[in-house]
Chains A and B, each alone.
Chain A
Amino acid sequence: MVICIPRFNVYIPKDVSDALNALSQRKDLIPMGGGSDLLVLIRNGIVKADTVLDLWPLRKELAYIKREDGTVRIGALTTVSELCESDLIKDVRYAGLADVCKKFSTPFIRNIATVGGNVGAAHPLSDIALMLLVLNGKVKLLSKNGEREVNIAKFFKGKRRTVRNHDEIIAEVSFTETPHNSSTAFIKFDRRWGHAMGYVLVGAYMQLRDNIIEDVRIAFDSTGNPYPERVWTTEEFLKGKEFSDELIKQALNNVLPKEMKRITDYRASAEYRLDLSKVLLRRALLKIKSRIEGGG
């Protein structure tokens, strides 16, 4: 029986160095993590694949969550459900990652989708990439010639385009442990629960001392470019000031709209998205404040 699905070859590497060798020698290899994104793109004809490099066998080396020397390291092939079941997200400082888990696609996709794949897909609605942005994370890229670390804020170049060279694979994402008077939050707004894409996604990190905002980082799914980005001016405006309703109102009405351009498409209009961005950012900041104060 002939099944009509796109045809391609699969290269199954023995270990990381085998995969890197193959990538450096062959230009036609497309690395695949979980496959929940790439296989759909191939099926829809958006990506023409000749040979797919299946990274799944590298899970014995690249699937881990380590917390050592003040750094959190997450292997690129850690699945989202492994991240969601880990102790890391029980830490109130990383409650934003727990928010991600609650709304990340569906349980069966979480079982195959990987952390590295979510970052490498460079889609505006990449939940984990958004949280890494506010945690000031780094992406470790491995190639045959060595490794390099790129700050995630400089990792994306466009929709589905990153600074990753052809011969590199994403090996790890990492971020420095945040101080104890800080926390994170993530809000995705959509009409549905399963497979929610979100009209607007917001991730935020805030550090409070005596109600003064010591540090704040805010990222949206898009601020004009088709990839997640931080809203630097709004962050600067909030930094060092006392947390109050009046301050947030000013930031939302006077600062945020100036640096954010939203698009209109079949899912939502630009006006609605901008309005929603304001509402969700306010909710996220209040959520973080109550988390820092022990409200959960």
Chain B
Amino acid sequence: MSVIPREEWDKYPDIEITLNVNGKDYKVKVKPYERLLDVLRYKLGFTGVKEGCGRGECGACVVLMDGKLVPSCLVLAVRANGSKVLTVEGLAPEGKLHAIQKALLDTYAVQCGFCFPGVILAIKALLDRNPNPTDEEIKDALSGQLCRCGSYLRFIKAVKLAAQYIREGKEYFDESGARG
């Protein structure tokens, strides 16, 4: 990591932005070039936001910003000013699992798990607008989420299971009851 000369550091002013992350308001000083990813991960400590490729290809860094799935590596922090962000940490209350997480565990889709924060949020974005998706719709919705372990077919099973859980009104599960 190179050392930045003082005068160059001063060239870029600190900008104060407000963010609502997982229901809690934060005021944070950011540099203009910083991405939402940097702020969430390194300044606010939401390490569920993963940096994969850093160029919008892998889908590991996606978050829900104002209800829309966006790659946080391609959204400047200053642009996210004033918006509501949901990361995987905010999906279920402390000690609980969301139906999507439970379904992924139940279908044994988890291998290394690096892509999971992105996959879970992509599934959430899909189920929020379409509670009963077809195989084709699931494939399209998850087309940007790269999983190098190759759990893709289990994702499809998991989405259907999660949709079933949510339809049955079972949105949260106890963490202790989870298989995995």
Does B54 reach chain A (CB closer than 8 Å)?
A: yes
Which residue of A1, A2, A36 is within 8 Å of B74 (Cβ)? A36
- Closest Cβ of chain B to A43, distance in Å, is 6
Q: Is the CB of A35 within 8 A of B74?
A: yes
Mark out the residues of chain A between 36 and 94 whose CB falls within 8 Å of any chain B CB in the assembled complex: 36, 39-40, 43-44, 54, 56, 81
Q: Give the residue among B56, B62, B71 with the most A Cβ atoms within 10 A.
A: B56
Give A56 to B83 CA distance when docked, in angstroms. 13
Chain A residues closer than 8 Å to B141, beta-carbon distance: 107
Contact digits for B10-52, partner A, Cβ 8 Å, 1 yes 0 no: 0111000000000000000001111100100010000000000
Does B2 reach chain A (CB closer than 8 Å)?
A: yes
Does B115 reach chain A (CB closer than 8 Å)?
A: no
Given known contacts A1-B42, A12-B78, A109-B144, A6 and B69 CB-to-CB distance under 8 angstroms: no
Chain A residues closer than 8 Å to B4, beta-carbon distance: 2
Chain B residues closer than 8 Å to A44, beta-carbon distance: 55
Q: Is the CB of A43 within 8 A of B54?
A: yes
Chain B residues closer than 8 Å to A43, beta-carbon distance: 54-55
Mark out the residues of chain B between 68 and 98 whose CB falls within 8 Å of any chain A CB in the assembled complex: 68-71, 74-76, 78-79
Q: Is the CB of A108 within 8 A of B59?
A: yes
Given known contacts A107-B140, A108-B71, A10 and B76 CB-to-CB distance under 8 angstroms: yes
Does B57 reach chain A (CB closer than 8 Å)?
A: yes
How many chain B residues touch the partner (CB < 8 A)?
38
Does A244 reach chain B (CB closer than 8 Å)?
A: no
The chain A residue with its CB closest to the CB of B55 is A40
How many chain A residues touch the partner (CB < 8 A)?
32
Give A102 to B141 CA distance when docked, in angstroms. 11
- Closest Cβ of chain B to A225, distance in Å, is 26
Q: Is the CB of A54 within 8 A of B140?
A: no
Q: Is the CB of A10 within 8 A of B122?
A: no
Does A105 reach chain B (CB closer than 8 Å)?
A: yes
Chain A residues closer than 8 Å to B62, beta-carbon distance: 108
Give A40 to B125 CA distance when docked, in angstroms. 24
Q: Is the CB of B75 within 8 A of A8?
A: no
Given known contacts A105-B144, A111-B68, A4 and B79 CB-to-CB distance under 8 angstroms: no
Q: Is the CB of A7 within 8 A of B79?
A: no
Chain A residues closer than 8 Å to B154, beta-carbon distance: none
Does B143 reach chain A (CB closer than 8 Å)?
A: yes
- Closest Cβ of chain A to B1, distance in Å, is 6
- Closest Cβ of chain A to B151, distance in Å, is 15
Does A106 reach chain B (CB closer than 8 Å)?
A: yes
Does B157 reach chain A (CB closer than 8 Å)?
A: no
Residue numbers of A with Cβ under 8 A of B are 1-10, 12, 34-36, 39-40, 43-44, 54, 56, 81, 102, 105-109, 111-112, 193-195
Residue numbers of B with Cβ under 8 A of A are 1-2, 4, 8, 11-13, 31-35, 38, 42, 54-57, 59, 62, 68-71, 74-76, 78-79, 122, 125, 139-145
Closest 9 CB pairs of A and B: A106-B144, A194-B143, A10-B32, A108-B69, A40-B55, A111-B68, A7-B33, A194-B144, A193-B143
